[in-house]
Chain A
């Protein structure tokens, strides 16, 4: 990776950009630029203003103050269409796919109007483009039927289609397994070598340091400086991001493994894309589920929570577990924290308070009327305990950062006294370093109360640090189990990629 000299032209430049949303100052006089051919990483905790900065660069948001230049052209009126014309491509963290339309149609829509193929030839055209990017996807399938990883790769390809001069990637690897990350990085490096300037936003610091030429750090909407990536370490970046040196990344496990009662017992459970699965989880245990994306891990959790119908048997605390509906599972004490929190667990427009107490309103009320003061006290207490960062508990959840949204959904198992099992699907996806620790600590605290917890995660480091035991799933079955001394990031990754070492221990 050759660092381009300062003489290289700037493909993107933001100067003194500020933006406020209501009372929250999201960005304060931030300057940022990207040279042709460089990979410039932008890091910061969630809520630090990264997405706002990208939104302004891509024309989706208008800055309150400051200037944006793309390829030397000053932008007057912000619009994605204009940014696209000036040579800016953007891969959104939440994607820009139209799920009901086919892959080919989505690709065609990503092209500037003048470059769109004739409609009758789009499938042929799309197949050609996908082949160029070595992506094997069915062009006539609706994007809805693709896995999250496939959608993420498609999003990057869409951003590259119009041959942009500058490419903005917002968390492009959240849904990708190690193999896909490598493919994506190869693609990004190839583009940067051909002169495209790349802005790379990610919370995975090893990834960032592995690929970037320069790194800019944001904290609370203020730039903390731009650095040569080679001169930075993960520790120094984290220190800049959170403003204090990173302490212990994971909460302590409860010392020695002491055998306790089995709380959740699963035998011969099968459903769409998984099974048969036999599994026991003990009281107070945090069990991790690892595996390459799309090997039935999510379906297994959803089946236990009654969201999808399985066949086979599962019991909780000695009683048959009713998985006919989410409500039945909830009554049995099984709580699912979904990976898609915005769509499946939170009410985005409702307040933090309402989202926290929605499942336990009866307990907070008298004669069917909610006692506000009591509710407030309960919520304030949890907000403090989980360190949820916000202006007020009356703030709509959608205005919080990703990490804080996740914490809000985590408040619910704390309010219900009858929770026996927590199923956490990617509990820290899109969550920043500081908030991650709070989430780990909250999960560990629940485990200490005797709750059994299953964590599905695509981050091996997280599983190794948080869990007491990790099972690895492949093609819907458990193919490996890792515990005790063996439990480490490297061992998990080996099991996922299916190295012979890992298979011998099964």
Chain B
């Protein structure tokens, strides 16, 4: 059951997005332009996609810190497989190769976590290192342009709204309906909340965890397309998406302890985080400040979000021990 508390992150994120937007619009004419808003939505795409993937890992109680390295790997791969002047057929095969990199990474992570029983942070840290090295091996400096037709296709917009953003919004809504309104979504949350109980209930816990990590990596590889569309060149260095994606998922309602989260909330949080980066340069703040501000905000948000949850968990477990039973409470009168 999605309780009122489950909606809080969505309300909070929407409020913050609108408040920051309003402030920026009042002080800077440049903010509320079709060009800037379209640009904001487009720059949100990589984070939105990877954070929605990350939300899956968080739901089953894990973390995937290899996503940024995977996105880099995908951009580097794109600089080979989506080269300018290629035929459509080659481009389709090239795109599939990028998703294939994501699929393979997801299966690799899931194997480390389920078969070899490594904690997900450690497993994905290892994967991160492997992918980083591989990316540097393939491109030790930015090189290799990415097919402009592909970039244009990815950036196709309706008025100022990128079609891809509409797509990811639909995906997030469908994802939440699946998570909170279907049996398989319920099973996913159950595994994240309590794996032992889930196994006792005869649920396929391994399948669920593998699915979550594969989804996470595949979404990160799709995010890689949009990173590629932004940098437009095979670059071995992409942003700090591991932290940002975890932060977006948590700001959107996910619990670091697993079993909770919202894809819509994650999307809104990704939009908010990107909006900060969009607004600060308008006020002539150096981008270094933007990065520091976002980092500090993320830590603050994580602390504020997790603290009440941890507190209430502790409190309810104390109280739950001997909760007054109405039926038994009446018994002595009889």
- A→B interface (CB under 8 Å): 58, 60, 79-85, 90, 92, 95-102, 104-105, 108-110, 112-113, 116, 118-120, 136, 140, 144-150, 158, 177, 179, 272-273, 292-299, 302, 307-308, 339-340, 343, 474-476, 479, 496-498
Contacts and interface: CB of A to CB of B under 8 A. Distances in A.
B116 interface: no
B321 A339 contact: yes
A94 to B, nearest CB: 9
Contacts of B183: 108, 113, 116, 118-119
Closest 9 CB pairs of A and B: A298-B322, A498-B332, A81-B202, A96-B200, A84-B202, A147-B323, A474-B332, A96-B197, A80-B202
B284 interface: no
Contacts of A158: 201
Nearest to B195: A98
A247 B200 CA distance: 39
B201 A110 contact: yes
A292 B328 contact: yes
Interface in B206-260: 259-260
18 contacts: A81-B204, A85-B202, A98-B197, A98-B259, A99-B193, A99-B194, A104-B1, A109-B186, A140-B1, A147-B324, A148-B320, A294-B322, A307-B318, A474-B329, A479-B332, A496-B332, A497-B332, A498-B331
B187 interface: yes
A90 B200 contact: yes
Interface residues of B, number: 39
B188 to A, nearest CB: 11
Contact of B322 (A100, A113, A148, A496): A148
A83 B202 contact: yes
A290 to B, nearest CB: 12
Nearest to A149: B325
B207 to A, nearest CB: 10
Contacts of B187: 109
Contacts of A479: 332
B181 A120 contact: yes
A104 B319 CA distance: 21
A110 to B, nearest CB: 6
B101 to A, nearest CB: 33
Contacts of B328: 149, 177, 179, 292-295
A76 B3 CA distance: 42
Contacts of B204: 81
A294 B260 CA distance: 30
B316 A145 contact: yes
B161 interface: no
B322 A147 contact: yes
A30 to B, nearest CB: 22
Contact of A145 (B190, B322, B323): B323
Contacts of B321: 148, 298, 302, 339-340
A302 B181 contact: no
A476 B318 CA distance: 16
A497 B189 CA distance: 41
A177 B1 CA distance: 31
Contact of B316 (A97, A116, A144): A144
B198 interface: yes
B311 interface: no
Contacts of B332: 292, 474-475, 479, 496-498
B117 interface: no
Given A96-B200, A308-B318, A101 B324 contact: no
A109 B203 contact: yes
A302 B322 CA distance: 11
A292 B324 CA distance: 10
Contact of B190 (A84, A109, A144): A109
Contacts of A60: 199-200
B325 A98 contact: no
B79 to A, nearest CB: 45
Contacts of B159: none
A400 B198 CA distance: 24
B286 interface: no
Given A101-B193, A474-B332, A92 B200 contact: yes
Contacts of B331: 179, 292, 497-498
B334 interface: yes
A112 B202 CA distance: 8
B317 interface: yes
A444 to B, nearest CB: 26
A98 B198 contact: yes
Nearest to A294: B325
A116 to B, nearest CB: 5
Contacts of A83: 202
Contact of A147 (B1, B194, B259, B320): B320
B182 interface: yes
Contacts of B322: 147-148, 273, 293-299
Interface in B75-108: none
Contacts of B329: 294-295, 474-475
Nearest to B190: A98
Contacts of A295: 322, 324, 328-329
B186 A105 contact: yes
B189 A296 contact: no
B180 to A, nearest CB: 9
A498 B320 contact: no
Given A80-B202, A82-B202, A150-B323, 8 more contacts: A109-B190, A110-B201, A118-B183, A273-B323, A292-B328, A294-B328, A299-B322, A302-B321
A83 to B, nearest CB: 7
Contact of A343 (B189, B194, B317, B327): B317
B115 interface: no
B332 to A, nearest CB: 4
Nearest to A474: B332
B333 interface: yes
A150 B327 CA distance: 11
Interface in B281-334: 316-325, 327-329, 331-334
Contacts of A149: 325, 328
B203 to A, nearest CB: 7
Contacts of A108: 183, 186
Contacts of A144: 316-317, 320
A109 B201 contact: yes
Contacts of B317: 144, 343
Interface string B165-194: 000000000000000011101110110011
A146 B260 CA distance: 20
A498 B200 CA distance: 39
A476 B189 CA distance: 36
Contacts of A150: 323, 325
A95 B186 contact: no
Contacts of B316: 144-145
Nearest to A96: B200
A58 B324 CA distance: 33
Nearest to A456: B322
Contacts of A98: 190, 193-194, 197-198, 259
Contacts of B324: 147, 273, 294-296, 475-476
A177 B198 CA distance: 28
B325 A95 contact: no
